[in-house]
Amino acid sequence: MWRELKPLGRAAESGGYRRYAWTAADTDCRAWFRAQAESRGLAYETDRNGNQWAWLGDPLAGDAVVTGSHLDSVPDGGAFDGPLGVVSAFAALDELRGRGARFGKPLALTNFGDEEGARFGLACVGSRLAAGQLTPDRAHALRDGDGVTLPQAMEAAGHDPSAIGADPERLARIGAFVELHVEQGRALDLSGDPVGIASAIWPHGRWRFDFHGEANHAGTTRLADRRDPMLSYAETVLAARREAELAGALATFGKVSVEPNGVNAIPSLVRGWLDSRAADQPALDTVVAGIERAARESADRAGIDLRVVRESFSPVVEFQHALRDELGRILGAPPVLGTGAGHDAGILSASVPTAMLFVRNPTGVSHSPAESATEDDCVAGILALADVLEGLACS
């Protein structure tokens, strides 16, 4: 499976993956998923929101046990974030068939569409739509960097966008959703365990800071006469680091666009995107308010117009305690850890009992071509997932 996935959407220059939603690379990944499903005799379907499903047993029987993750990537992402959960789902099914497991409940394997939000700026679009956390109206208004709307992109990739939206009947058939994911941190490396269970997903969000100044000639405009938005932006980046350190939280400006973006031009506009996460809501509120306050003070001093827009937000997600305890019992009490990364499991947890398994990442690096997991740990993850599926679906 890894051999087939390896070349799909891979950028030769960086060695990273560019599997953005509804692009050719994404279509290739979807074709791979479908082929894997059909080669195992599973009933394949794509739902209204473009999420892929592979069923063993009757989808309408209810109380289904579902596992999977996503195949799309961030810009120059690693091989494991997302695909590890999908590959492990198929491999765990193979393992269970090898064990001669008899399923008492329907089992489904999934690939949720557009999890990373790399193209349209909103994460977990496929699961958000299904769970009714993203309205069709808002989804229709999403645009990529080239001005292509989400429905246009879906249509171009051969998916009918006319029926996107909440899918409560489908979610009502799920008794438990378990997502396996490569850890995006070093907790398991530090504890010396190959596999762990998620406790909660930190609240997190994305904010856009627009600093409007005045474009002018870099060679002829006196420093004192400038309204340079880059300076306020730079001070805001430093403030973000400071505020995050004070609160024990995380804050990152990882994307910036500059107009007119000329070496010899003072910018007219600097637009920076803040990603911030914290263990709880008050800490996150404190960090973001502190960053915004620092940005306003700097902008006011420099005659810059500042606009701050919250583009997305996900509140804290506590995974269902009963299911988490059940996984702990099945797996012999592995470590339980929180995470600052968002996941489809977090979105779905509002609608169905969900849990997550993490596989050790020796460096903690993620969203980068350097993301890694050892083959032994990947196998440990597959066996843990197989044990969980057996415990949930075969009892």
List residues near Zn ion by CB under 5 A: 81-82
232 vs 372, which CB is nearer to Zn ion?
Answer: 372
Q: Are 108 and 53 in contact (CB under 8 A)?
A: yes
Q: What is the nearest approach in angstroms of Zn ion to the Cβ of residue 163?
A: 26
76 vs 326, which CB is nearer to Zn ion?
Answer: 76
81 vs 243, which CB is nearer to Zn ion?
Answer: 81
**Do you find a cis peptide bond into 260, omega within 30 degrees of 0?**
yes
37 vs 347, which CB is nearer to Zn ion?
Answer: 347
Question: Does the annotation place 81 within a ligand binding site?
Answer: yes
180 vs 291, which CB is nearer to Zn ion?
Answer: 180
Question: Does the annotation place 204 within a ligand binding site?
Answer: no
Which strands make up the sheet holding 305-314, listed edge to edge?
A: 250-259, 269-277, 204-212, 305-314
Question: Does the annotation place 245 within a ligand binding site?
Answer: no
Structure tokens at 111: 């690939």
Structure tokens at 219: 């060679």
Residue 259: strand pairing partners: 269
Q: What is the nearest approach in angstroms of Zn ion to the Cβ of residue 84?
A: 9
Report CA-CA distances (Å) from 274 to 188, 242, 246.
Answer: 28, 14, 17
88 vs 298, which CB is nearer to Zn ion?
Answer: 88
Q: What is the nearest approach in angstroms of Zn ion to the Cβ of residue 206?
A: 16
Q: What is the nearest approach in angstroms of Zn ion to the Cβ of residue 38?
A: 25
Q: What is the nearest approach in angstroms of Zn ion to the Cβ of residue 83?
A: 9
81 vs 183, which CB is nearer to Zn ion?
Answer: 81
DSSP-derived letter for residue 320 is: P
Residue 317: strand pairing partners: 201
**Single-letter amino acid, residue 51:** N
195 backbone dihedrals φ, ψ, rounded to 5°: -135, 140
Question: Does the annotation place 116 within a ligand binding site?
Answer: yes
User: How buried is 215 (Cβ within 10 angstroms: 0-12 exposed, 13-18 middle, 19+ buried)?
Assistant: middle
Question: Does the annotation place 206 within a ligand binding site?
Answer: yes
237 vs 347, which CB is nearer to Zn ion?
Answer: 347
184 vs 232, which CB is nearer to Zn ion?
Answer: 184
DSSP string, 169-226: HHHHTEEEEEEEEE-SSSHHHHHT-SEEEEEEE--EEEEEEEEE---EETTTS-GGG-
**Single-letter amino acid, residue 262:** G
Question: Does the annotation place 181 within a ligand binding site?
Answer: yes
Q: What is the nearest approach in angstroms of Zn ion to the Cβ of residue 383?
A: 21
**Single-letter amino acid, residue 18:** R
Residue 149: strand pairing partners: 143
Q: What is the nearest approach in angstroms of Zn ion to the Cβ of residue 129?
A: 17
Q: How many CB atoms lie within 10 A of CB 8?
A: 20
Q: What is the nearest approach in angstroms of Zn ion to the Cβ of residue 366?
A: 8
Q: What share of the chain is helix, strand, coil (3-state, %, to 5)?
A: 40, 25, 40
Q: Are 362 and 372 in contact (CB under 8 A)?
A: yes
Structure tokens at 221: 């405009």
Q: Are 101 and 394 in contact (CB under 8 A)?
A: yes
Q: What is the nearest approach in angstroms of Zn ion to the Cβ of residue 179?
A: 8
Binding-site annotation: residue ranges for Zn(2+): 70, 81, 116, 181, 367
Binding-site annotation: residue ranges: 70, 81, 116, 181, 206, 264, 277, 367
Binding-site annotation: residue ranges for allantoate: 206, 264, 277
